[in-house]
Amino acid sequence: MLTENKFGKYLTYAIGEIILVVIGILIALSINNWNNENQEKNKLVDSYKSIVDEIEFVRPIVEYQYARNDSTIIYIQKSLRLLDNINYDSINQLNFNLIGLTRLARLKYDFPVILGFIEKTNPEIIENKKLLKLLQDFKSQLTFLDVYQTYMVDSFHNLISPYTMKNLKFSAQNNTVELTKREHLIDNLELTNLLNLKLETDKGSSERLKKIINTMNKLKSEIKSELNKK
């Protein structure tokens, strides 16, 4: 009977020890998980801040190109109207506006922080699904912008540039161009077609740049809201 009592006490003691060890392990795991979650949150906050910095740095460059693109479109539209009138008196105005035909928009922009974040970050840790969608949309827009840039460059170098090299005299000092032959004002079918092509591609690039700018603004706003919650 005495032996049974001792065994019962030892068993109770052993079970208590096991329970304490298990509780200790669970507490340690909880602390470790908490530390890992905190590290992930801090890393996410740092990434968000870096994304905002990158947007603020690149956005003025994109906005400048967007504004420049709009001015190019105006030059092209004025050139087309002048060609419709077929008036030798307007040759100087035409020369002034044909500068738009020689411009090639730059649509290639670097976003290493944003693209790196999208590539390396597990989407599940981004609780804000609106922000996640904006990041995914932004990546898609950049990819399409690259494709459109290739199309624009090919059109410019293969179709527009050969004409301008042959028929326009460019003054780097005054940043102006001049038709080498006044007759092109009358026999203007090729020039008209090239201007229409340029107008189409520039309008397309402006639409895409506007989308990029809008998405950048939404991303910045959403990230700042998210940072205010931290």
pLDDT tens digit sequence for 187-219: 688 899 999 999 999 999 999 999 999 999 999
CA distance 92 to 222: 50
CA distance 191 to 184: 8
- pLDDT beyond 50 at 170: yes
pLDDT in tens, 3-38: 555 555 565 665 666 666 666 666 656 655 555 555
Amino acid at 191: L
- In this prediction, residue 189 carries a pLDDT of 85
Q: For the chain, give the percent of residues with pLDDT over 70.
A: 77
CA distance 133 to 156: 34
The reported pTM is 0.79
CA distance 34 to 31: 5
Top pLDDT among 174 and 178 is at 178
- pLDDT beyond 50 at 2: no
pLDDT in tens, 135-165: 999 999 999 999 999 999 999 999 999 988 8
To 10 degrees, what angle do helices 129-155 and 112-120 make?
130
- DSSP track, 4-46: HHHHHHHHHHHHHHHHHHHHHHHHHHHHHHHHHHHHHHHHHHH
CA distance 15 to 200: 81
- pLDDT beyond 50 at 230: yes
Name the one residue in this structure whose structure tokens are 């008196």.
89
